Amino acid sequence: MKNERKGRVFPTVVLTLTMIYLILPLIATLIYSLARSWQSSILPDEWTLDWFRQLFLDSRFQESMWRTLGICFLSVILSVVVMLPTIFIVTVYLPKLERLLNILVLIPYAAPPVVMAVGLLKLYSSGPVAISGTIWILVGVYFVAVLPYMYQGIRNSMRTVRAKELIEAAELLGAGKLEAFRRIIIPNVLPGIRVSVLLSFSILFGEFVLANLLVGGRFETIQIYLYHRLIESGHVASAVVICYFLVILVLSGLLLALSGLLYKQSTPVTKKGSDL
Amino acid sequence: MLKRRVDTKLLLALVPFCILILAFEILPALSVVIESFKNDEGTGFSFEQYVTAFTKMFYLQAIKNSVLISAASSFIAIIAGLFIAYAITRVSERTRTRVLMISNMTSNFAGIPLAFAYIILLGSNGVFTLLFEHWGLSIFSGFNLYSWSGLILVYVYFQIPLAALLLYPTYYGIREEWREASALLGAGAFQYWSRIALPLLLPAAAGTFTILFANAMGAYATAYALVGANYNLLAIRISSLVAGEVITRPQLGSALAMVLGLTMILSLWINDRLMKRVRRDLG
């Protein structure tokens, strides 16, 4: 009995310290965003909502928030629309290509954003397709950035619903390929990919490197806006971080609720540490 | 006849994917490879850029700094991660879920926002910096967030949750019976850990190390926000060579990008090998 108790103390202490360590920077940012000034005392002397007021009155903030949501939405939709039929066709009709697809999808893991940006800048800064500095290059490169997560999610979902058997049954019953895909595969697979959709969304929401190098100030996303505010005013910047984090929190909350629901039927989606 | 027509239709449906992959993955990657073998004028075939990368002190230093910071932060995170992962497997289901949730959540806290939070805490006017000064704790007076130790500190922060999340499933592979069996045979806790548990954990820890190492090598936003272009890191060097404000040298940037990319591929390859072993041992 005594041993059992002792066995619980060490893990609890370790985890408590870890949680404090992990949450401390966030708490500090929150306090900073609510403090008029914060110097040489544990807690600030005077609290204020001024920084948030200033932030919400800044149209640049609103615009950058909408831009970010818009581009994330666009890229994730593009990814679903393109990857769903692609993975379906490859797994059901062209299994020989599965290995190749698997390699293509894993390349973003091996090539960090900063490396991809080098090639993209070379290709699209001038010449026939000078899309560098527009949102189109960002949509394209975001499509590639979320590939590993989308692929994993869609493929698992197809396996879970046994897409191959479903299609065989549908064709036996006289359905055409397109009809079977539209009426059977899509409605069955979609619920299973909500987790990867949300995960991709939250990854893109925090993306800075590609946005900064490829588009920069010409299409100010929330991360780029934050970077600019950082230099001007620390308090407002911390208010931006808090707003940004609230969005992430809502997204992870949804993600967790969904993956909890889906826990029994799909494998957990693992995520690469994001310094995107 | 009918079957053939359907097959072309199927291939047509793959066209959007192929275009996107070609335009935004294959061609950019190829372009990096090709550019890295050109001279400064962008013509001909030469190893000039690689020679510069590995002989000029400035670039060699960037590579060295990146490798050292990545290795040090990954090593610290692995050690901490081993303890945290063990703790995760030893608490109640409810606590575990909560801990995993917080670790997952804070893994989104990287890049610019993270660097900023650390500036608030430990920057030159940071809360802790001033408090320590106030209390007269001089041990911390030598600490500078905008230096190599500061960078490691911040890197460790985003590496630890990742290490814990990647390592904790391994502990489930170590069966409770093995501990009991070793105890029955007379082994103490120290012997159990050093002779049984740690050797089993080692390949997984090494595998996780390679993932963390690659993660830190490719990291850019955190360092960029913290030290700007001042600190000499590989990722920062690459970006300023291709998108710098003053002068750009895309060919040299490409060669450095190749160095970075190959380091990542090598790390992930080693990880793949090690993980196969883990699955064999603990599967």
Please provide the average confidence, as pLDDT, over all residues in chain B: 86
Examine the domain organization and report whether A44 and A75 are in the same domain.
no
A61's CB contacts (< 8 A; 6+ apart) are: A55, A225, A240
Q: Is the pLDDT of residue A260 over 80?
A: no
Q: Is the pLDDT of residue A274 over 70?
A: no
Residue B139: pLDDT band by 50, 70, 90 thresholds?
low
Residue A262: pLDDT band by 50, 70, 90 thresholds?
low
Q: Tell me if A95 is assigned to some domain.
A: yes
Q: Tell me what pLDDT residue A266 has.
A: 42
Instruction: Please give the backbone phi and psi of residue B231, each rounded to the nearest 5 degrees, phi first.
Output: -85, 140
Q: Tell me what pLDDT residue A264 has.
A: 45
Distance CA A36, CA A274 (A): 32
Q: Tell me if A273 is assigned to some domain.
A: no
pLDDT digits (tens, 9 = 90+) for B122-133: 887 788 887 777
B81's CB contacts (< 8 A; 6+ apart) are: B160, B162, B163, B164, B166, B167, B208
| CATH number of residue A72's parent domain | 1.10.3720.10
Q: Tell me if A268 is assigned to some domain.
A: no
Q: Tell me if A238 is assigned to some domain.
A: yes
Measure B162 CA to nearest chain A CA, in Å.
6
Q: Is B104 on the interface with A (CB under 8 A)?
A: yes
Residue numbers of the domain that contains A3: 1-48
Write out chain A residues lying below 8 Å of B117, CB-based: 25-26, 28-29, 241
Scan for tokens 């404090």, then name that residue.
Answer: A20
Question: How many CB atoms are closer than 10 A to CB B69?
Answer: 22
Q: Tell me what pLDDT residue B249 has.
A: 87
Q: Tell me what pLDDT residue A170 has.
A: 87
Q: Tell me what pLDDT residue B126 has.
A: 80
Q: Tell me what pLDDT residue B80 has.
A: 95
Q: Tell me if A102 is assigned to some domain.
A: yes
Q: Tell me what pLDDT residue A269 has.
A: 43
Distance CA A199, CA A190 (A): 15
Q: Tell me what pLDDT residue A141 has.
A: 95
Q: Tell me if A270 is assigned to some domain.
A: no
Q: What angle do CA B51, B53, B57 make, to 5 degrees?
A: 105
Examine the domain organization and report whether A5 and A85 are in the same domain.
no
Distance CA A77, CA B68 (A): 40
Residue A40: pLDDT band by 50, 70, 90 thresholds?
low
pLDDT digits (tens, 9 = 90+) for B48-77: 889 888 999 999 999 999 999 999 999 999
Examine the domain organization and report whether A36 and A141 are in the same domain.
no
Q: How many CA atoms lie within 13 A of B88 on its CB side?
A: 27
Q: Is the pLDDT of residue A164 over 80?
A: yes
Distance CA B148, CA B141 (A): 15
**Count, residues in chain A:** 276
Overall average pLDDT of the B224-251 stretch? 84
Q: Is the pLDDT of residue B89 over 70?
A: yes
What percent of chain A lies above the pLDDT cut of 70?
89
Distance CA B71, CA B261 (A): 16
Distance CA B236, CA A126 (A): 23
Structural domain spans, chain B: 1-30, 47-282
Q: Do residues B77 and B69 make contact, with C-beta atoms less than 8 angstroms apart?
A: no
B163's CB contacts (< 8 A; 6+ apart) are: B74, B77, B78, B80, B81, B82, B84, B85, B208, B212
Distance CA A33, CA A47 (A): 9
Would you tell me which residues 110-149 of chain B have a C-beta closer than 8 angstroms to some C-beta of chain A? Answer: 110-114, 116-121, 125, 127, 130-131, 133-134
Overall average pLDDT of the A206-231 stretch? 88
Q: Single out the residue of A209, A232, A229, A211 nearest to residue A220, CA to CA.
A: A211
pLDDT digits (tens, 9 = 90+) for A82-100: 999 999 999 888 888 999 9
Contact: A143, B20; criterion CB under 8 Å? yes
The beta-carbon neighbor of A26 closest among B109, B220, B238 is B109
pLDDT digits (tens, 9 = 90+) for A107-133: 888 888 999 999 999 899 877 777 888
Q: Tell me what pLDDT residue A1 has.
A: 40
Q: What angle do CA B71, B75, B81 make, to 5 degrees?
A: 140
Q: Is the pLDDT of residue B141 over 70?
A: no
Among A11, A30, A48, the domain boundary falls at A48
Q: Tell me what pLDDT residue A265 has.
A: 44
Contact: A18, B160; criterion CB under 8 Å? yes
Distance CA A160, CA A189 (A): 8
Q: How many CA atoms lie within 13 A of B211 on its CB side?
A: 29
Examine the domain organization and report whether A24 and A91 are in the same domain.
no
Examine the domain organization and report whether A98 and A157 are in the same domain.
yes
Q: Single out the residue of B200, B168, B213, B202 nearest to residue B77, CA to CA.
A: B213
Q: Is A94 on the interface with B (CB under 8 A)?
A: yes
What CATH number was assigned to the domain covering residues B47-282?
1.10.3720.10
Examine the domain organization and report whether A99 and A44 are in the same domain.
no
The token duo for B275 is: 């993980």
Contact: B134, A40; criterion CB under 8 Å? yes
Number of domains, chain A = 2
Q: What pTM value is reported for the model?
A: 0.86
Q: Do residues A84 and A186 make contact, with C-beta atoms less than 8 angstroms apart?
A: yes
Which of B235 and A7 is assigned the larger pLDDT? B235
Question: How many CB atoms are closer than 10 A to CB A139?
Answer: 19
Q: Tell me what pLDDT residue A81 has.
A: 94
Overall average pLDDT of the A225-234 stretch? 84
Write out chain B residues lying below 8 Å of A111, CB-based: 29, 261, 264
The token duo for B92 is: 């109640």
Measure B258 CA to nearest chain A CA, in Å.
8
Would you tell me which residues 207-236 of chain A have a C-beta closer than 8 angstroms to some C-beta of chain B? Answer: 208-209, 212-213, 223, 226-227, 230, 234
Among A30, A48, A66, the domain boundary falls at A48
Residue A72: pLDDT band by 50, 70, 90 thresholds?
very high
Distance CA B169, CA A213 (A): 37
Examine the domain organization and report whether A115 and A239 are in the same domain.
yes
Overall average pLDDT of the B239-244 stretch? 85
Q: Is the pLDDT of residue B104 over 60?
A: yes
Q: Is the pLDDT of residue A145 over 90?
A: yes
Contact: A118, B238; criterion CB under 8 Å? yes
